[in-house]
Amino acid sequence: MMKEKLIDLFEYTYHYNKEMIKLISGNISKVDEKIISLISHTLNAQQIWNSRILGEKNFEVWQINPFEDLNTINHQNFLKSIGIVKDSDLDQRIEYRNSRGTKFENSIFEMLFHAINHSTYHRGQINSLLKQNGIEPILTDYIFYKR
């Protein structure tokens, strides 16, 4: 049951990341560097958490990805996250180092839930910045996704 709920939340995350990329792309002349930085960071963070769980090489937290690569990165993140959910014991604890090199340990569930929550937080920030730039934000609340 928990795995099904996490998959649903990653589907939600994937969907609204995709919609956000589309909205930014359609208004690229009006967006500023902060918006571009935040959408890249949002995708980077999910990639980083997936990589920590899988023991793979990860992105830099604030690297700026080529805008034309964002949909591909979002899709790859989605597939990896879903694979982790399906193939892992969510209670398993993983030791990792943060971007400053400090060692931590969390369960796979905690790491995945953080990735989802982090994406939601930054999409809210992006929506606020879009509005400040005269771009109509999109409603990205989970409940709208489920309606």
Residues making up the binding site for a divalent metal cation: 41, 118, 122
Annotated binding site: 41, 118, 122
SS (H, E, C) the chain: CHHHHHHHHHHHHHHHHHHHHHHHHHCCCCCCHHHHHHHHHHHHHHHHHHHHHHCCCCCCCCCCCCHHHHHHHHHHHHHHHHHHHHHCCCCCEEEEECCCCCEEEEEHHHHHHHHHHHHHHHHHHHHHHHHHCCCCCCCCCHHHHHC
